[in-house]
Amino acid sequence: MLSIAVQCNPPLKGINHRCAGAFLTDDSEVYLAHSGKIAGGRKGIGKTAFVNSYPHGNWREVQWPDGQESEMIVIGRVDGKRLPAHIGQFVRQVEKFKKAISTGKQQKVTVPAKSTYSPEFGGRKRGYRVPGNVESDCDHGLVVNALAEYLKKAAFGNVGNDRARDLYVLSKSGKLRFLFEAKTDLSTSSIYQGVGQLVYHSTVTPAAKRLLVLPGVPNAKTRAVLDAIGIDVLTYRLDGARPVFKNLKEVLT
């Protein structure tokens, strides 16, 4: 028998803050969004717990027509080709959260001592976004999850993520082998931010290799700078909703 994992129910008309679903617009596109209000009839399942368990969601500040402000998870563009994949990932994220609560294995969002990996839906950490990347940020989860799957299958080590880091791989002895930060556009702002994240986190916990995951090859000048500061670039393209990594084997050697 099938069961309901999550409801995303925008009101038929007007504003209803009690509904978890909403359609958002940035004055050009329309997006499906969720408030994070998760119900499940079990102790521990609720919005606060879900929000805390899901820092990698594509959280955005929303201004309502009645003047209120709140944060919502942007699931995807309603007429976007990858909307089914984006919805699928969001549903799996909620399902995983509920399962973790019911089995008492809810992950803490602090940096773990050992590697853990929570499949993510999309977007980056809360508040890390710049306006204009709403849709591409929905792909973030697709990219990170696909990369995590590959790394797990290839048995590169213990694959994990946490609130601060998109993805990392620990060696058997627990040392940080690879640290990944994924961006869904090639803007200067995104690249600076990725560099900052990689440098910051690898300073706190030294990583053998730091990789910036990008949807294309940055220009020669940027590549030279990244090379000089010891950051490798892993590039990908989206084949439908499936990320295809171009130089994965090369950068992991």
Q: Which of residues 22-81 bind another protein (CB under 8 A)?
A: 26-27, 61, 63-65, 67-69
Kindly tell me which residue out of 192, 217, 237, 244 binds another protein, with binding defined by CB under 8 A.
Answer: 192
Q: How far is the CB of 225 from another protein (least distance, A)?
A: 5
Stretch (H or E) spanning 244:
strand 242-245
Distance CA 238, CA 127 (A): 25
Is the CB of 22 or the CB of 252 nearer to another protein? Answer: 22
Q: Do residues 149 and 244 make contact, with C-beta atoms less than 8 angstroms apart?
A: no
Please choose, out of 92-100, 108-116, 192-200, 237-245, the segment that lies near another protein by the rule CB under 8 A. 192-200
Distance (Å, rounded) from C-alpha 242 to C-alpha 227?
28
User: Judged by CB under 8 A, which of 197, 215, 233, 243 binds another protein?
Assistant: 197
Q: How far is the CB of 250 from another protein (least distance, A)?
A: 23
The answer to the question of residue 220 lying near another protein (CB under 8 A) is no
Residue 138 contacts by C-beta under 8 Å, 6 or more apart in sequence? 58, 74, 75, 76, 77, 80, 82, 86, 121, 122, 123
SS3 111: coil
Separation between Cα atoms, residue 144 and residue 53, nearest integer Å: 17
Q: Is 200 in the site for another protein (CB under 8 A)?
A: yes
Beta-strand runs (E) in 87-206: 158-160, 167-170, 176-182
Is residue 125 at the binding interface for another protein, with CB under 8 A as the rule? yes
Q: Which residues of the chain form contacts with another protein (CB under 8 A)? A: 26-27, 61, 63-65, 67-69, 125-128, 131, 189, 191-197, 199-200, 203-204, 225, 228-229
